[in-house]
Each structure stands twice: as C-alpha cells, then as structure tokens.
Amino acid sequence: MSSEHPTEGNEALFEAENLTLVYGDTPAFEGVSLSIPAGEITALVGPSGCGKTSFLMSLNRLSDLVPNCRVTGSLRLGGQDILSSEVDLIALRRRVGMIFQKPNAFPFSIRKNLTFPLQEHGVRDRDKLATLVEASLRDVGLWDEIKDRLDAPALSLSGGQQQRLCLARALALKPEVLLLDEPCSALDPLSSGVVEDLIVSLRGRYTIVIVTHNLAQARRVADQVAVFWVQGGAGRLIESGSVGQVFEDPQDELTRSYVTGQRG
Amino acid sequence: MDSLARSQRGEKLAQVVMWSSAALVSAVFLWMLSDLVTNGLGRVSWEFLTSSPSDSGRAGGIGPIVVSTLLIVSVAMVVAIPIGVGTAVYLAEFTSTESLLGRLVRRSLDVLAGVPSIVFGLFGSAFFCKTLGLGFSILSGGLTLACMVLPILIRSVEVGFREIPDHYRLSAAALGLSRTSTLLHLLLPAAAPGLAVGLVLGIGRAAAETAALIFTSGYVDRTPESVLDSGRALSVHIFDLSMNVPGGTPNAYAAALVLLGLLLLINGAASGLAHRWLGRNIATL
Ligand SMILES: Nc1ncnc2c1ncn2[C@@H]1O[C@H](COP(=O)(O)OP(=O)(O)OP(=O)(O)O)[C@@H](O)[C@H]1O
Ligand SMILES: [Mg+2]
C-alpha cells in the first residue's frame, strides 16, 4: 500500500493550484494546492467549517449551483482545465460522481432511482437497464437484500440502505471519480461499517475523495490525507501526504495536535 | 403558589377564547349551510340541473348556466395553468429572492392578488371585450378570470417549488442531469401539492366570481354554442335572481346550493388527488 511508499504515488488525476472559493465576499477556503492521485483514496479531514465540503463541490463544479459562489485559481482533471466556462458540466458530473452526507434517494421506486439517471444519459434499452440495475446493486451489496422489492419506494429503505442505493446510483453511471462527503456520519454504526467496507472495496477501480470527521476512519480507508484548517478567517490546506506520513510523522504542529486528538 | 394559580387561570381563559372562536366559525358555516339546504334542497333535482330557466329564472332550471360556468372556468384554467406554472418556475428556479426583477414581479403579483374583482371586470370589459373585440363572451369572461386567479396560482406554485429541499437539485445536478429533466421529472412532481392548492384556490375563486363576469361574459341565460357566445355564470344568476327578480329567491337558494356543492366537489377532488398521488394531506401542505 502506498502508505509504505510515501513518495511513490499514482499519477495525479486532479490538480488544484492556488484554488480559492468564496461565498459572496467570504472565502470558504483559500490558496489550496493539492494533487489527487488516480485510483487511490484521498481523505479530506479537518475541523468543522474549514471548507472540506466546499472543496469537494468545486471538484464537480456543483458550486456553480450556489448563488454568489465563485471559484478562482486553477483546477485540472486529467490535464483539462475544469474551471473554464466551456466545460460540459453534464459530462464532467458524469465523470465525477458525488455522494452526500445525508442519503438523498429520490422519492421514486428503488428501480427508478437507478434507471432515471441512466435514461437521461441515453440508456434506453430495457435489458441493458435491467443489467445495469442489477450490477450496480450487486456492487454495493444491496442486490440480495432488495431484489424482490425493486418497485418499493426508495424512501422506505433504511438510512444505510438508502446511502448504498445512492452509491449504486452514482456507480451505475460509470464515473471515474467518486466524491464522498461524510458518507457514514448520518448512519448507525453497523451501516456505517458496511458503507466503509464498501468504499474500501472500490479502491483501485475509482479515484475516491472522501471527507470525514472520523480520523480513525481516514486512517483505515485512505491512501492519501489532506488536512484543512481555518486560518485567518478562511480554510487552508495545512498538510497533505500519504496516510503513514500524516499520521506518523506530521510536519505541521497543528496537524500533530489534531491527529493525536489534542485539537479539532 | 399564587402566580401558578394565576397562570393556570390565564391558560384556561385562553383555551376558552380559542375554543369559542373556533366554535363560532363553525357555527356560522353550519348556519349558512343549513339555511341553504332548508331553502334550496327541495328544488334541486336532476330536472333542475338540466333544464333551462323560464320566467326570468323564477321557474325552470339552471342547465345552460351550469354549462356556461363550467366553460368559463375551463377557459380560465386552460389559460392560467401554463402561464402560472411557467411564471412560478421562473420565479422559483431562475431568479433569486433578492434580485430586482424577482422582487418586482412578486410585488406586482401581491398587489394584483388584492385588487377587487370588479376592477378586473372593468379591465376585462375594456380590454378583452372592446379592444380585442371578443364582445360579451365566455372567452372574455374566462380570460378575465385567468388574469384574476393568476396571482394566487403563481404564488402558491412558487411556494411549492421553494419548499423543495435543495438537496434534490444538488443530487440531480451531481448525477449530471440537465436542468430541464430535473425540473420535469423531479421538481414538478415534488411541487405538485403546491400546484394542487393553487388550482383549488384559483378554481374556487373563479367559479364563485360575480363582479368580474357581469361585464365580460354577460347575462344571457341560453346554452352557449361556442366560447364566443355570451353565457351566464352561476354566481351572476344567483345575483340576478336575488336582486333583480322579485320572487326569484327560492331558485336563487337552489342555485347557491349547487354552487356550494360544486366548490366542495372541486375541493374534495383536488385533495383526493393530492392524497392519492402524493400520499399527503392537502390540509397539511
Ligand atoms: N452556501 C453557502 N453560503 C455561504 N456560506 C457558506 C455556504 N456553504 C458553506 N459556507 C461557509 O463556508 C465555510 C466552509 O463551509 P464548508 O461546508 O465547506 O465546511 P466543512 O469543512 O464541510 O464543514 P463541516 O465539517 O461542518 O461539514 C463555512 O464557514 C460555512 O459557513
Ligand atoms: Mg461539510
């Protein structure tokens, strides 16, 4: 695992340079430069309000939906500038999927939650749809649990099941990247464990960026860790590197007290 | 001890006041209803609903008037629903609450919603009947009613859209769904309760309207052959019978009972539909 080879990473998929995001006049994070290696799991950690969610939302340009929100600096995905106004946002978001903190299945049936986005992306063939539904539910370990009630409302599932359904919904679109914003924090410990194992099982097949408040979880699942901190009224990246390096030998004093549980 | 006793007494008093005002409202409604039923029910029959009025409405039924009313309300809704939903979507999804245009449109709608219906009637008769040359007709009346119900319709549909939690829009965008399909497949169904409420309020206001229709769709009590014919609405008929026709009161009661029944029916249908489609109670929206 890369934690044993701190300097040897995969090629960078995302490259942020001097990235800043403001809501109106207030910066959420400022001057962030970070590379996110392809095929690995990168954890974003840091205290509440340090801009982790905002950073995640800049990676798929979901920040465009927030009124008065502006992103400046440079952000590349596989070498392509994704902050440019010419970027095809639909294609970008298909390539970069996202899961939110609270499970947010649509108020449709379980099946339609999966087929609706696929149909919107041009998959019309019924057999193809059925195959993709099954494959993505198997991917998240939900198939055996719910294969007999695919037409039940998605909102009747438990929180953990809904979160896995949301993951399946994103996976069905075959993204390259998955952005996970505290995907376990709204779940009970048991479901949380299931979702965490699931994320680990996706390692290598997707580039994963996961925000988590749970340092133990970051340590268990991540290859790379980026630590955000509020300094001078805006979130900043204070340290990044492999899990081994950040947890065992942090360079920054704040990181040291944070990972040892003295702050944050 | 003393203050506790006093606050308990205060609470008792508040309860009595609330209870008696609720009772008073229900009593007024029940009294009105029983008045209508005792005076009108004896005359309401299939015959009454379908036959033409005679002797200025003292005798005969209200068939042509029911037809005209339904036609006028239909014209109003066919025109108002697309414009209303379109404007509401524009206001809720494409303008922020602070933007100048959004504020301007909202303020105008609130003012329009409070304009007395007689003013709409005068406007309709000047604009639709004369300027557009539609004359006294179902079409003029329907269009005037459409103008009148649009503010209520737009505002309640807009509220329906604004009540949809943002995570719907975010998660749809994160899946790469286009704005249009998010709107059609996700937001519109989710805003349906607001739409249903707006429709009930709008239809209710339209079906019961008198002043706006006297000057636009007219008095003629024959069955209209097209929307360009004049037609008498139920409320105009009731007004005419009770004010201008000596001895018209019994039939006015019967017609009022029919109108009330119609409104209750529309209300029930809308809340039933909302319940069935959305599993939600319209009263709690
Ligand atoms: N839509 C918004 N409009 C204005 N300010 C916002 C908005 N969203 C977030 N902020 C502000 O930006 C800063 C960063 O917020 P963000 O949600 O990115 O932090 P976070 O690290 O994800 O926090 P948490 O761990 O609590 O989720 C906060 O100060 C927050 O108040
Ligand atoms: Mg957050």
Phi then psi for B62, rounded to 5 degrees?
A: -135, 20
Phi, psi of A13 (to 5 degrees): -95, -50
Question: Which residue from B minimizes the CA distance to A58?
Answer: B174
State how beta strands A96-99 and A177-181 pair: parallel
Interface test with A, best of B98, B169, B171, B177 (most A CBs within 10 A): B171
Q: Assign B44 to helix, strand or coil.
A: coil
Minimum Cα–Cα distance from B96: chain A residue:
A67
Indicate whether B281 pLDDT > 50: no
Any domain includes A228:
yes
**Integer Cα distance of A51 and A55 in angstroms:** 6
Nearest ligand 1 atom to alpha carbon A26: 5
How many structural domains does chain A have? 1
Among chain A residues, the shortest Cα distance to B181 is held by: A120
Please tell me the distance between residue A48's alpha carbon and the centre of ligand 2 in angstroms: 7
Residue at A264 is within a domain = no
In a domain, A66, yes or no: yes
Q: In chain B, what residues touch A90 (CB-CB under 8 Å)?
A: 176-178
Q: What pLDDT does B274 receive? A: 66
Chain A residues whose CB is inside 8 A of the B170 CB are 62, 65, 100, 104
Closest C-alpha residue for ligand 1 atom 23 = A49
Q: Whose CA is nearest to atom 6 of ligand 1?
A: A23
Average pLDDT over residues B271-275: 71
Place of tokens 């962030």: A32
Residue nearest to atom 12 of ligand 1 (CA): A28
Say yes or no to pLDDT of B1 above 80: no
**Which residue is it, tokens 């990235």?**
A19
Judged by average pLDDT, the poorest of A12-16, B7-11, B130-134, B175-179 is: B7-11
Residue A257 CA, ligand 2 centroid: distance in Å = 21
Q: For position A6, what pLDDT does the model report?
A: 42
**Predicted local confidence at residue A99, as pLDDT:** 94
Strands of chain B (E only): list them: 53-54, 59-60
Average pLDDT along chain A: 91
**Structural domain includes residue A106:** yes
pLDDT per residue over B209-232, tens digit each? 888 898 999 888 888 888 888 899
- Ligand 1, atom 31, residue with closest C-alpha: A49
Q: How confident is the model at residue A264 (pLDDT cuts 50, 70, 90)?
A: low
Q: Answer whether residue A85 is part of any domain.
A: yes
* CATH code of the domain containing A51: 3.40.50.300
Name the E strands within A169-219.
Answer: 177-181, 207-211
Instruction: Confirm if B116 and B52 have CB atoms less than 8 A apart.
Output: no
Write the DSSP symbol of residue A239.
E
Residue B99 is predicted with a pLDDT of: 84
Distance from the alpha carbon of residue A96 to the mean position of ligand 2, in angstroms: 18
Crossing angle between the packed helical segments B192-207 and B138-162, to the nearest 10 degrees = 150
Residues from B contacting A (CB-CB < 8 Å) are 96, 167-178, 181, 185-186, 189-190
Domain containing A186: what range?
Answer: 12-259
pTM of the model: 0.79
From the CB of residue A1, how many other CB atoms can be counted at a distance below 10 Å?
Answer: 10
In a domain, A4, yes or no: no
Instruction: Answer whether B138's CB lies under 8 Å from B71's CB.
Output: yes
Chain A / chain B CB contacts < 8 angstroms: 57
How many residues in chain B?
285
**A155 lies in a domain?**
yes
Distance from CA of A104 to the nearest CA of B (A): 7
Residue A1 has pLDDT above 50, yes or no: no
* Predicted confidence (pLDDT) per residue in A78-109, tens digit: 999 999 999 999 999 999 999 999 999 998 89
Q: How much is the ipTM here?
A: 0.88
Q: Establish if A5 belongs to a structural domain.
A: no
Q: What is the pLDDT of residues B112-131, one digit of tens each?
A: 988 999 999 999 999 999 99
